[in-house]
Structure 1
Amino acid sequence: MLKKSVFDFLLELRENNNREWFHANKKRYELAKKDFQLFIELSIEQIKTFDPSVSGLSAKDCLFRIFRDVRFSTDKRPYKTNFGAFIAKNGRKSRYGGYYIHIEPEQCFLGGGCYMPASNVLKAIRTEIFHHPEEFKGIIENPEFQKHFPELYGEKLKTAPRGFPKEFTHIDLLNYKHYAVAKMIDDPIVNSDQFVNEIDNTFKALYPLNRFLNEIVQDL
């Protein structure tokens, strides 16, 4: 299970998001990061039992930095108040669909798919759905998928995307800006041995969507 040191550090960081406190607690950060990294290593092993595309990854390939880029932001807090990892072929910057684990007190979630895909990837996904809408609907309307992800994540266009006919029967499936999902997880579950099973069940339900997306991405 996820070690308590991860949550404890993030809770205190949220109240002390400044460089002085962080440097004074650098060893605690390194311990929490190491514990989260180990948890992700085990999660990769778990996921590759049903999705072999993540084989060969290490946690270091998947973890996001805790340091915020504040150059163009009005929010000058220097650190993120979460640990996150995107487990996908080629790691955290991959254009492939994958599995995301987000640990943040009161805001933990599991998710995945293709978030903020590049324009050519987004167009290719929409084109595939346009030609095979029933296959895509079969994935996102599957009862097991719906149990974890009742809807796709994020904003939608208000009209048909450029290059696609407005009268297309399933135009709503093409209007998404992301082909991603997210599922909030309560803190008590994250901090218990139930979390491993939650990851397993949730990501197994997500796998058919990632498989659909990655068959498109690999041909680009």
Structure 2
Amino acid sequence: MPDSSLLVQPFKFLNRLRKNNNREWFNKNKDEYLEAHKHIIEFAEHLLAELNKTDIIETPTGKKSLYRIYRDVRFSKDKTPYSTYFGGGFRRATEERRGGYYFHLEPDNTYVGGGFWGPNSQDMMHIRKHLQQEPDMLREILESKKFKTNFGQLRGEQLKRAPKGFDIDDPAIDLLRYKQYWVRHEFSMEEVLNQDFHKTIAKQFQNMRPFFDCMSEILTTDLNGQSVL
């Protein structure tokens, strides 16, 4: 059973890294990073085990879910070499289950997200045609009390104008302008340092399921409701 110590030490390391985000300091404190990383791996393993109780996940281990702390700065104005958070993602398994889960562990900025960050052009057109024909299938979820309580609103980049092939006066234009479809839930530090925080995250992942199920149905059926798999 994980306890608060799994995140306390990593968060102490991240607070120090914020003030010393350079290779010289990092290399001198590599052992502290390795200890923090070990705790994060253990936390991710507990989270994956909890998530597998309610969904089928393709990502094989918690360790495999984690992103590297080393930043790719080649095309970034920010040249600091290390991320000041620990994050990771879990892929849902099979073609029928769409969407991905993301967790972000950072002092005073811990949150989870889920959804569709980069649909390809074919999927994007498929989603838009479905929403144009039947926008209420997604609206009912977005307007539900449970969704608003946990996620507030749908997130994602949006076009300023109507997408090509669609009318700006379309009744579903508010949904059609999205280029991404995702949701986010933020946590207080009190929640983060609770011994059952992995279960709290898993609960919010489970709360995403109606949204995921709706988008999965859209992506796996044609406009007549027939499977395209």
TM band (smaller chain) = 0.7 to 0.9
Structure 2 equivalent of residue 72 of structure 1: 75
Q: CA deviation at 1:192?
A: 1.4
Structure 2 equivalent of residue 152 of structure 1: 154
Aligned length: 215
1:191-210, aligned counterparts within 5 Å?
A: 191-210=193-212
CA distance in 2, matches of 1:110, 1:129: 25
Verify the 8 A CA contact 2:47 2:199 in the aligned structure 1.
no
SS at match of 1:84: strand
CA distance in 2, matches of 1:112, 1:34: 25
1:8 aligns with 2:20: no
Amino acid at match of 2:71: R
CA distance in 1, matches of 2:59, 2:198: 21
SS at match of 1:130: helix
Amino acid at match of 2:156: G
Amino acid at match of 2:32: R
Q: Which runs of 5+ in 1 are unaligned?
A: none
Structure 2 length-normalised TM: 0.85
1:62 aligns with 2:65: yes
Verify the 8 A CA contact 1:48 1:55 in the aligned structure 2.
no
SS at match of 1:183: strand
1:33-44, aligned counterparts within 5 Å?
A: 33-44=37-48
Q: CA deviation at 1:215?
A: 4.1
1:182 to 147, 171, 184: 184
Q: CA deviation at 1:194?
A: 4.9
- Change in 2 beyond 3 A, CA 1:138/1:41: same
CA distance in 1, matches of 2:196, 2:42: 17
Q: CA deviation at 1:58?
A: 1.1
Amino acid at match of 2:77: T
CA distance in 1, matches of 2:178, 2:84: 28
Structure 1 equivalent of residue 105 of structure 2: 103
Structure 1 equivalent of residue 24 of structure 2: 20
Q: CA deviation at 1:197?
A: 3.9
Q: CA deviation at 1:135?
A: 1.1
CA distance in 1, matches of 2:86, 2:64: 14
- The structure with the largest alpha-carbon Rg is 2
Q: CA deviation at 1:80?
A: 0.5
Structure 1 equivalent of residue 121 of structure 2: 119
Q: CA deviation at 1:198?
A: 2.4
Comparing 105-114 with 132-141, greater Cα deviation is found at: 132-141
Amino acid at match of 2:82: Y
Structure 2 equivalent of residue 211 of structure 1: 213
Q: CA deviation at 1:148?
A: 0.6
Verify the 8 A CA contact 1:161 1:174 in the aligned structure 2.
yes
Q: CA deviation at 1:119?
A: 2.9
Q: Deviations over 1:114-145 (max 9, x none)?
A: 12333333332222222331111122222212
CA distance in 2, matches of 1:89, 1:156: 25
Report the aligned-residue RMSD. Answer: 2.2
Q: Which runs of 5+ in 2 are unaligned?
A: 221-227
